[in-house]
Structures are given as structure tokens and as C-alpha cells.
Amino acid sequence: MNIAPVDWVILVVGFLCFLAMAFYLNSKCRSVADYLVSGRKVRMWLGMGSGIAGEIGLLAIVSTSEQGYGHGFSFVLIGLLSMLITVPLFGVFGFGIERFRASKAMSVPQYIEMRFSKELRILTGMFNCLAGVIQMCLFPIVGASFIRVLIGAPQTVMMSGSAVPTDWLIMAILLICPIIFTYLGGYATLIVTNFFQSILIMGVLCWLLFLLIGQIGLQNYWSGLEQAHGLSGFNPFASEGESYGVTWFIWLNVMTILLQFSYGPYLQKYAAMDKPKTVSRAFLLGTIFGSGRAFIILGLGVAALAVMGKGVPAGLDVSATAWQTMATPYYLASVVPPVLMGFLLLGLLFADVAVTDTYILSWSTSIVNDCIYPFRKTPFTPKQQIAAVRMTIATLCVVFFLFGTIYTPTMAIWDFMWLTANIIGGTGVAVLLGMYWKRATTAGAYAAVFTCLVIPIADLVTRRIYIAWYPEGVFPLKPQTTGLYSYVLAAVLMIVISLLSRKKTKYWDLGKTVRDMNLAETK
């Protein structure tokens, strides 16, 4: 293994420090609102820092370095172009996200009930939770495989006379952490610990990238990328090589916009802010300060590409699909020195805690509030509600572990994550139009939700069957094509069906509420 004694000391001491912080913050958690949305008292700088940390998860590091290895730095241009759209839209004008905070809803389905109907709330809660859980099934196994390769651990270890995959043991450790940190204070704990871990992980990744470039040499670093990918390694719209393309760019931005109104972890973060204006300011500063992280993580994948080349090295029993994901840890395992390895492992562990815990708390909250609570004859007491969320967290961790024992990759991690995110996109269409359009009806919202449920699931199932029949084949339909067309069809159907419906809607002017709340906070 590639871990020196000093690395173990750094890892253990760092973990104990974060654990002590969690115990302290748990003593400050006194209500359901504290546990689920930090009592709605998160101010701008803490919200910005935790928001940045909430996107630097272990899975994000793995998938972004995978994109760096497979596409070079071309995503940087896509990110900059996307900022020209999202920063003014959300960071300056607070489009939609300030209105959601003004609605005082704690979750997307809760707003759906307020605007449309209780029945649609139950359905969207179930569908969104299904998509979120499917996405999160990848978190532990992908992260465990990355860490196992990074530390040079064997593929199996002997336990009670049986060979047990090492990935399973690491996966169990990664799943125990969410149970610990979400039990201790819930969102109030995560919002603070995420703030500090974001400083740790970004410092470590910057240190690592500078070290790698120094070892490789800047000239070899760029020439290795150029030889492997040519112009497509820098230009996402290049006609040559494996470029992202215009369709992928449009899909990404439409999805980014709609997820601001449908993705549970995002909306829970917005609900925790102290006022609507804080939501837009935190988005603005979080996007600006957080944009550089993608360049740094992509750089790790590019370093692996420059040194190891595009193909699977001889002697490694790794499939071509898995190699693009595992190339970076294989490379890092041979070059990261002691001390830095300890801080890197600590950063990766709490990067996983930051995202996995935040997401699992969000989806567990939605399962309890939107899928279980509507069927109860009596309301939850505060203790019962928190206990139900904690029990759901433990149950989901078991589901994630079982999924990890049978998982085999069939596509890039980003493609899988964003295609499953399309299932949630229909809710985004319904929420967005519901906030700004008086004529948006419940029937139209049903159409949008079901469209974005059926099409992506059909794609995932068909893709799995196709790969089983043709292991070496390429599925003819790209994820971005399926995703973009499902969004367009969902929006068209909601508009048409709403125009054909004559029923009275439950629209109210959230814009006025935003102005009143912001004004009240300034007085």
C-alpha cells in the first residue's frame, strides 16, 4: 500500500477534529427546522462556502478528472460560456431561486402542493427521490474504487477464509460517515463542516496539481494533451476528435437552469438561507469562486493522460470504459509523496462527506416529508420526524452498498448522472412555469413530469440491453440527445395542455413576496 505512517496520523487526527466539530454543533440543534434547513439562518459567506464545498464531492473529483483524461481542458470553455448565462440569470437577477425561498417551502414537492395539488406532490416526491437515489447509488462504489487504486490496496482481502473485494470494505467506511455526520445535527452540522472541508480539499488539490506539473514539465504536460486529443482537447466544439459538441452544451445549460428548481439538495440549500437576496448573492459568489475548481481537477486527469497515454497499460485487467475513470488514481498512486497523501486522503474523505451527507439528508427528508408523511393519519412529532429521516438515511446506505456489490460501468459518470437528472427535469419545468405563468395548470404539470420520467428511464433500460447484446458496440443515441429532447417535449406539453385547460390555478405573486421579505430584512 502507498500510505506511510505519517499519512495515517494525518487522516486519523483530521477525522477526529471534524468529528469533534460535529458533536459540538449537534448540541446547538434544537428543532426540526435546525436539523433540516439550519433554522433558515444561513448567511451569505457561510452559504457560499458550504455551497462550493457541496459540489466538490469525491464523485465530482472522480468524474471531473475522468473528463480531463477523456476530453482535456475543453470543458473549461464550456464552463466559462455557461457562466455568461447562469451568473446574470441567478446571481444577479435571482431568477426563480429567490422566489422559491420566498415561498417558504422546505422542498420542491412541498412547493408543488402549494402551487398545484397534493397528488402531484406525492408523485413528484416519489419520482425525484427515485432519480436521486439512482444517482447516489454510484457515489460509494465509484469513490471506493478510486481510493483503493490510489492507496495501492489489493483487489481482495481475506476475511474468515473468504476473499472479500477491497472496494466493498472501503465503500462500507464511506457509508458509515454519512450516518455519523447526518445523525449529529443534520444540516446545521453539514453547512459548517462543509465550509471548512472546502478550504482543505481545494488547498490539497492546488498543491497536488502544482507538484504534478513540476514533475512532468509544463511543455510535456501540454504536448501530451495535444498529441492525445488534438484541437478537441481545448475546443469543445471542434469537428475533430471526441469533442462535446453544440447539442451537449445546450443540454448542459438547460439542465443547469431546470435543476435550480427541481434538484432537492439545491433547493434545501436555498431554503436554509436567511432571506431571498442571500440566495442570489451566494449563487453569484459561489459560482465565481468555485469555477476555478473544475480547471484544477481537470488538470489531474490531463496529467494522467500526458504521462500514461490514452490506452490501457499492458498488464492491467481494466476495461476500456473503467480505464478512463481509473487512469487518474493509477497515476497518482505512483507519484504522490507522504504527507501530501495523508492530506489528500483526508480531503477526499470529507469531500465525500460534504456531498454524500448533504444529498442523502436532502433525499431522506424528501422521502419522509413527501412520500411517507402524506399517507399518515396523524402528523409527525418533531422527534418522530427527525427519527424517520435518520432511519431513512440508514436504509439508503444499505441500498447503496448492495448496489455497489453488483455495479459495472456502461457509460461515463457524467453522462449517467446527467441522464438520470433528466428524470427530475420535468419537475423543474413545472416549478419554473408555475412561478412565472398564471395559466400553468396541474394537468400541464403532470404532462411535464411524466415526460421527463419515461424518456430517460427508457434510454437507460434500452442502453443496458443493447450493451448486453453488443458488448463492443456503441449505443446509437447519445445521452445529450435524449436529455435535450425530453426537456423540450416536457415544456411544450405543459404549455399546450395548460392552455387547453380552463381550471382555476393556485398562482400567487411570489415576486411581491420577494420584495417584501428583502425589504423587511433591511429595516
Residue 157 φ/ψ, nearest 5 degrees: -130, 150
**Confidence tier at 147 by pLDDT (50, 70, 90):** very high
Q: How many CB atoms lie within 10 A of CB 305?
A: 27
Distance from C-alpha of 398 to C-alpha of 419, rounded to nearest angstrom: 24
Asked if residues 139 and 59 have their Cβ atoms less than 8 Å apart, the reply is: yes
Distance from C-alpha of 400 to C-alpha of 407, rounded to nearest angstrom: 10
Q: Residues 6 or more apart from 23 whose CB is under 8 A from it? A: 184
Q: What pLDDT does 377 receive?
A: 79
Q: Is the pLDDT of residue 69 over 60?
A: yes
Coil, strand, or helix at residue 506?
coil
Q: What pLDDT does 37 receive?
A: 43
Top-confidence range, 27-36, 331-340, 404-413: 331-340
- Residue 74 corresponds to which cell in the numbers above? 475543453
Q: What pLDDT does 32 receive?
A: 46
Q: What pLDDT does 431 receive?
A: 92
Domains annotated for the chain, with CATH where assigned, are 5-407 (1.20.1730.10)
Q: Find the mean pLDDT for residues 352-371.
A: 80
Average pLDDT, the chain: 82
CA distances to 59, 139, 170, 326, 406 from 167, rounded to whole Å, are: 15, 12, 5, 13, 12
| Range in 241-250, 355-364, 457-466, 499-508 with the lowest mean pLDDT | 355-364
Distance from C-alpha of 479 to C-alpha of 454, rounded to nearest angstrom: 14
On the CB side of 459, CA atoms within 13 Å amount to 26
Tell how far CA 136 is from the center of its chain: 8
**Confidence tier at 385 by pLDDT (50, 70, 90):** confident
- By C-alpha distance, which of 52, 51, 27, 31 is closest to 40? 31
Cell 435524449, residue located = 482
Q: Is the pLDDT of residue 410 over 80?
A: no
pLDDT tens for 102-144 read 888 877 888 899 999 988 988 888 888 888 888 888 888 999 9
Cell 490496496, residue located = 153
Distance from C-alpha of 17 to C-alpha of 489, rounded to nearest angstrom: 50
Q: Which residue(s) pair with 164 in the sheet?
A: 157
pLDDT tens for 151-184 read 988 888 888 778 889 999 999 988 887 777 776 6
Distance from C-alpha of 410 to C-alpha of 258, rounded to nearest angstrom: 26
Q: Is 0.75 surpassed by the pTM of this model?
A: yes
Distance from C-alpha of 192 to C-alpha of 346, rounded to nearest angstrom: 17
Q: Find the mean pLDDT for residues 388-399.
A: 88
Residue 164 φ/ψ, nearest 5 degrees: -110, 130
**Confidence tier at 339 by pLDDT (50, 70, 90):** very high
Q: What pLDDT does 92 receive?
A: 85
Q: Find the mean pLDDT for residues 210-215.
A: 91
| Range in 93-102, 223-232, 314-323, 492-501 with the lowest mean pLDDT | 314-323
Running DSSP on this structure, what letter comes out for residue 4? -
Residue 145 φ/ψ, nearest 5 degrees: -65, -40
Q: Which residue(s) pair with 95 in the sheet?
A: none
Cα radius of gyration (the chain): 23
Q: What pLDDT does 401 receive?
A: 93
